[in-house]
Every structure is written in structure tokens, then in C-alpha cells.
């Protein structure tokens, strides 16, 4: 979930230019979405990974804007009292936030909903349904939040693809966000396979409740996501923590 930041805030020029060099070239017709996303994330040198989490990380939204977003969140349906297990899962996000320089930036409001949902809101909050919080293991929640952080890296490209109604590009960018999550998880010593298991749990629950979603076509298939994740994990085969 991506939303437009305040007009007074610009996507950092250095990050936008650097990510643009990796991601903005049109996909070759012969490449699959997975191939295009892998090229964007990994590059062509098998000994390195082109996507540098630290160098490309965008600046956080300004505190003043963040406060306005948080104040605008609807109170209806918000879970006011979390149980110990739920609080422990949210506390498990600390190493992800610390690595990605998002400590104190995001708020994590939990809303009553039978469907599972984790989504970044205006770069200031990660909205979580109570169903998702109960369903996911701590490591799976870490993985899905790391994916949402990935959306900050590709914000400018996502906006451009949305304006052009480029569904292929949007799906490629979803895969790149998966890649950001995998690289982040490895840096903090969490098995990246939790990303796949977390996604599968969310999809399975939501389809059980409501069948095929109207926006399923906006996302890569689970088979594509698994293929992409395995390729990234195969390249990034170094120590789990650095």
C-alpha cells in the first residue's frame, strides 16, 4: 500500500536517481516479470547484489507530516487493548526498524478485521488487521513489514507505473519489494523463507473468507514470488547477519 506524501516533501534526489538507474529501464519483451525484477535487484554480476539497502534508503517522512497522518487515522475499529502475544509480535519488529532507520517513524495501529492485512500508509504508519497479527508468526510479521518498507524504496517508480496503468511494472515492483524484505531479513539474521510462508498464510485466509479478490491481478502470482525469492536467496548466500 503506497500513498502520496505531503507536497512539501520530495523523494530524496540521490535515492530516486540511483534507484531509477536500476529500475526504470523498460523490460525486455523476452523477459518474464521475475527476470526483470531479478535484474533490477541483483544486477548482472553474479558475485554482487546491485541493490544497496543503505545507499538507496530514502529519507523518512518529516515528523510534522507523520504527526498529521497519525492524527488522521480513523478511531473506529481500532483495537485499543492488545494481548501479551500481540504486543510481543509488534515488539519483534524492532530489529527490522532499527536496520531500516525507521525506529520512531512508523506507528502500528491494529484494526478489527477478519481479513489479514499489513500495509504502509503514507510512510508514517503500518496498518495491521487483528486477523493478520493473530495469524502470523513473529518472523512472518517481520517479513511482511520489511516488504512494506520496500515500498518506500520504489515509491517514485510505483507512482509512475500507476499513472501509466502499467500492471506489469507494478507487479515487478512488488517483487522488488519482496527482494528488499529478503535482504533486510538476512541482515538481521531471520530466515527469508518466512516471507513466503507469511504471504501464503495471508492469501489462504483471505481467499477462504472472500474467494478471489478484485485486486489479485495487481500482484504477482505466488509461484512467481516463490521463484523470485529462491533466486534472491540463492544469490545472497552470505552470512545471515553482517
242: in domain: no
pTM over 0.75: yes
CA 45, CA 230: separation in Å to the nearest integer? 17
CA 110, CA 141: separation in Å to the nearest integer? 13
227: in domain: yes
Domain hosting 43: range is: 13-235
At 211 the pLDDT is 73
8: in domain: no
19: in domain: yes
Contact 60, 69 (CB under 8 A): no
CA 135, CA 6: separation in Å to the nearest integer? 33
80: in domain: yes
At 47 the pLDDT is 77
- What pLDDT tens digit does each residue of the chain (242 aa) get? 444 444 334 444 444 444 554 554 544 556 899 999 999 898 888 778 889 999 999 999 999 999 999 999 999 999 999 999 999 999 999 999 999 999 999 999 999 999 999 999 999 999 999 999 999 999 999 999 999 999 999 999 988 998 998 989 999 999 999 999 999 999 999 999 999 999 999 999 999 998 766 566 778 999 999 999 999 999 865 544 33
At 114 the pLDDT is 95
Contact 196, 147 (CB under 8 A): no
Domain count across the chain: 1
Number of Cβ atoms within 10 Å of the Cβ of 62: 15
At 10 the pLDDT is 46
153: in domain: yes
| Bridge partners of residue 127, in order along the sequence | 119
Could you write out the DSSP letters of every residue in 195-208? HHHHHHHHHHHHHH
1: in domain: no
Query: Could you write out the three-class secondary structure of 49-62?
Result: CCCCHHHHCCCCCC
60: in domain: yes
Amino acid at each position: 500500500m503506497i500513498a502520496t506524501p505531503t507536497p512539501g516533501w520530495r523523494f530524496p534526489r540521490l535515492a530516486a536517481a540511483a534507484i531509477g538507474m536500476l529500475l526504470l529501464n523498460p523490460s525486455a519483451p523476452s523477459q518474464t516479470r521475475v527476470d526483470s525484477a531479478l535484474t533490477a535487484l541483483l544486477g548482472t554480476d553474479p558475485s554482487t547484489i546491485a541493490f544497496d539497502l543503505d545507499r538507496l534508503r530514502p529519507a523518512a517522512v518529516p515528523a510534522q507530516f507523520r504527526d498529521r497522518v497519525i492524527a488522521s487515522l480513523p478511531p473506529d475499529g481500532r483495537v485499543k487493548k492488545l494481548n501479551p502475544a500481540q504486543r510481543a509480535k509488534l515488539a519483534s519488529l524492532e530489529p527490522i526498524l532499527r536496520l531500516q532507520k525507521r525506529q520512531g517513524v512508523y506507528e502500528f495501529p491494529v484494526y478489527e478485521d477478519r481479513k489479514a492485512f499489513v500495509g504502509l500508509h503514507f510512510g508514517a504508519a503500518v496498518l495491521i488487521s487483528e486477523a493478520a497479527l493473530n495469524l502470523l508468526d513473529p518472523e512472518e510479521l517481520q517479513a511482511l513489514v520489511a516488504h512494506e518498507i520496500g515500498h518506500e524504496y520504489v515509491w517514485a517508480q510505483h507512482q509512475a507505473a500507476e499513472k501509466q496503468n502499467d500492471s506489469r511494472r507494478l507487479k515487478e515492483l512488488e517483487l522488488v519489494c519482496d527482494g528488499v524484505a529478503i535482504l533486510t531479513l538476512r541482515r538481521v539474521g531471520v530466515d527469508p523463507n518466512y516471507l513466503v510462508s507469511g504471504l501464503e498464510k495471508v492469501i489462504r485466509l483471505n481467499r477462504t473468507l472472500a474467494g478471489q479478490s478484485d485486486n489479485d491481478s495487481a500482484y504477482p502470482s505466488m509461484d512467481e514470488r516463490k521463484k523470485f525469492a529462491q533466486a534472491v536467496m540463492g544469490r545472497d548466500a552470505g552470512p545471515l547477519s553482517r
